[in-house]
Structures are given as C-alpha cells and as structure tokens.
Amino acid sequence: MAVRPVVATVQLGQCGNQLGLELHDTLLREAAASGDAAFLRDTQETFFRTTETTSSSQGKLVARAVLVDTEPKVVEGVMETARRSKGWQYDARNAYHQQGGAANNWSFGYKHLGPTVWSNVADMIRREFEAADMVGGVLLLGSLAGGTGSGVGTYVTEMLRSEYRKSLLLNGVVWPYSTGEVIVQNYNVCLSLSHVMQDTDGVIMIENDHIHDICTKLLHINHVTFSSMNSVISQHLANILLPSNRCYATSSSCSNHVKSRERTSRRSFLN
C-alpha cells in the first residue's frame, strides 16, 4: 500500500474552528458516499488518524487538526459537537485557547498573542507530523476580519514556514462581507495578506458575499446561517483537498494542484 502524505489542519479563531469542523465532516462524508473503500481509506489517512484499539475501547477516528482560539467557548463547543455527533473527534491534547480574546486587533494578535500561541501550538503540530509516515503540509483556516484568524494566523504562518521549510503551506482565508462585519476589517485584511503572501504556498480565497449569494441564489436556502455557509465552503475546499488521482501511488492532489497553478509566490491566490 502506498504511503499517503498527511495534511494537518490548524483551525484559528471562531471562523476557522467552525469551518474546520464542517470541513472534516464533509471530507469524510464525501469519501464515504463515493462507495470506493480505497478512496475512503486514503482520505482517512490524509486527514485523520486512528487511535489504538484497547481492551476497553475501540479505535477512534481522530482529526489531524489543531484548534486555536483566544477565547474558550468556540473551541470547547466544536470539540464537544464533534465528539457527540460526528462519528469522529478531535484530540483533546490539540486544543489551545486563551481567555481574553484578540479584540479584532491584528497587531494585538500578531505581536502580543502570537508568540504565546506558537509556543503551545508548535508541539501539537510536531506531534501530528511525528505520528505520520509522510508529511504533506499544513492547511490553516481562519477569517481575515477578526483578530485571532488574521493576527495570530499570520504569526503562525510565519513560524510554520521557518519550521517546515519544505512542506506545503496553504491558507484558507475567509473574506468578510463587504457591507461590514467588523469595522476595522480593512486593516486586518490588508495587514494579514501583506505578511502571509511572503510565506504561504497558496491562499484559498473564500468570500462571504459570494458564498452568501450561492446559498440564496443557487441553492435557494431560505434561512441562510453561518452553518449553511460553512457547508458550502467545505464542499468547495473538499473539491481541491480530496485525493483526486485514482492511481494512489502519486502524491497528494493538493500539492500537485498548487504547484501547477503557481509560478512565483506572488501569484499564489486560489479561488
């Protein structure tokens, strides 16, 4: 059996964590619905790992993900939701949250909270990669409007690049609504992208306005919630993240896709 490169997901902030929960669920559901056992096994290998079966409990499917936030409610809620209802779960050791929040302040997230977050999160990511036979890369999910996803996410991107020079680094970023979600969102978006561009291999752009239109005009959803928008976004992300090559001896479709699209680091925006 060919060795699959694994992808670790870092979920940052409220948006990143809520989206990450939906993404992992969609990846598993899509792979299961395909009816192809090998495809399902490869998807599970790429994004999940199985804990050991002991005499007292069955082996469980655990997402290769690290959950980060600067306030506790979302991380705890997401972990609980996965554990209760999804058939898979997050590793409790891979959750890190602070208390105070980032106050929608990019510079507070980048300069002040980033170093503290990284000192805790670095070990979690290292542990996920040590549990894998081959490292594929890291997918960071977060919004650009707030303080955690943008500020802390930027710092974590820079640190990941310096720590894992040869691994693939993808940022899945959510652009806020143009009519305003956060008043200082324009600062946070510009500051994040200007830094992240130097270090990332690809920025997957997800615009709330566009996703909202898909929900209302294409899917005719009457009551659009963030949950329905996250489902749509997860479908889009799954289209590029799921193993696409039936000949599973080759490397992950994601890295091939990115390497074929970009020529220089400045043309690494994907949408």
* Identity of the residue, 51 or 225, whose beta carbon is nearer to other proteins in the bound complex: 225
Spatial separation of the C-alpha atoms in residues 67 and 75, rounded to whole Å: 7
Q: How far is the CB of 35 from other proteins (least distance, A)?
A: 34
Min CB(187)–other proteins separation in Å: 10
Kindly state the tokens that stand for 129: 């990669």
Mutual orientation of helices 153-163 and 114-130 as an angle, nearest 10°? 50
Q: Tell me how far, at minimum, the Cβ of 91 lies from other proteins, in Å.
A: 20
Instruction: Name the minimum Å distance from CB 144 to other proteins.
Output: 15
Contacts of 169 (CB under 8 A, 6+ apart): 137, 138, 140, 157, 160, 161, 199, 200, 201, 202
What Cα–Cα distance (Å) separates residue 1 from each residue in 45, 231, 256? 12, 32, 20
Residues in the chain: 271
Cβ closest to other proteins, residue 125 vs residue 182: 182
Query: What residues line the site for other proteins (CB under 8 A)?
Result: 14, 18, 71-74, 77, 99-101, 103-105, 147, 177-184, 212, 215-216, 222-227, 229
Cα radius of gyration (the chain): 18
What is the smallest separation between the CB atom of 210 and other proteins, expressed in angstroms?
Answer: 13
Distance CA 10, CA 174 (A): 14
CA atoms 52, 55, 61, 66: torsion sign = negative
Rounded to a whole number of angstroms, the minimum distance from the CB of residue 177 to other proteins is: 7
Rounded to whole angstroms, how far apart are CA atoms 227 and 229?
5
Bridge partners (DSSP) listed for residue 173: 142, 205
Q: Is 200 left (phi over 0), alpha (psi -120 to 50) or beta?
A: beta
- Closest separation in Å from C-beta 255 to other proteins: 33
CB nearer to other proteins: pick between 181 and 262:
181
Contact 144, 173 (CB under 8 A): yes
152 vs 229 by CB, closer to other proteins: 229
Residue number, 70 or 157, with CB nearest to other proteins? 70
Closest CB to other proteins among 136 and 147? 147
Q: Give the residue with the Cβ less far from other proteins, 81 or 253.
A: 81
- Closest distance of CB 86 from other proteins, Å: 17
C-alpha count within 13 angstroms, C-beta hemisphere, residue 1: 9
Between 87 and 180, name the residue whose CB sits nearer to other proteins. Answer: 180
